[in-house]
Amino acid sequence: MFHKEGHKIILSAFVTTIVLVLIAHLFIENFWFQKTIEVGAIIFLILILQFFRNPKRSGTLANEHVLAPVDGKVVVIEEVFEKEYFNEKRMQVSIFMSPVNVHVTRYPISGKVLFSKYHPGKYLVAWHPKASEENERTTIVVENKVYGPVLYRQIAGALAKRIVNYAKVDDEVTQGTDAGFIKFGSRVDLFLPLDTNIKVTLNQKVKGGVDIIAD
Domain ranges for the chain: 4-51, 66-214
Question: Which CATH number among 3.10.260, 2.60.40, 3.30.1490, 2.70.70 corresponds to the domain 66-214?
Answer: 2.70.70
Contacts of 2 (CB under 8 A, 6+ apart): 10, 49, 52, 53, 54
DSSP conformational letter for 113:
E
Q: Which region among 13-22, 105-114, 138-147 has the lowest average model confidence (pLDDT)?
A: 13-22
Mean pLDDT (whole number) for 179-190: 83
Catalytic residues, by residue number, are 186
92 φ/ψ sector (left φ>0, alpha ψ -120 to 50, else beta): beta
With 70 as the cut, is the pLDDT of residue 185 above it? no
Mean pLDDT (whole number) for 125-134: 63
Give the model confidence (pLDDT) of 137-177 as tens digits.
899 999 998 999 999 999 887 665 578 899 999 999 999 99
With 80 as the cut, is the pLDDT of residue 52 above it? no
Residue 30 pLDDT grade (very low, low, confident, very high; cuts 50, 70, 90): confident
Do residues 136 and 97 touch, judged by C-beta distance below 8 A? no
Q: How far apart are CA 70 and CA 120, in angstroms?
A: 21
Give, for 45, the enclosing helix (H) or strand (E).
helix 31-51
> What pLDDT is recorded for position 60?
83
Residue 97 pLDDT grade (very low, low, confident, very high; cuts 50, 70, 90): confident
Q: 20 or 103, which is more confident?
A: 20
> What pLDDT is recorded for position 184?
64
Amino acid, single-letter form, for residue 8: K
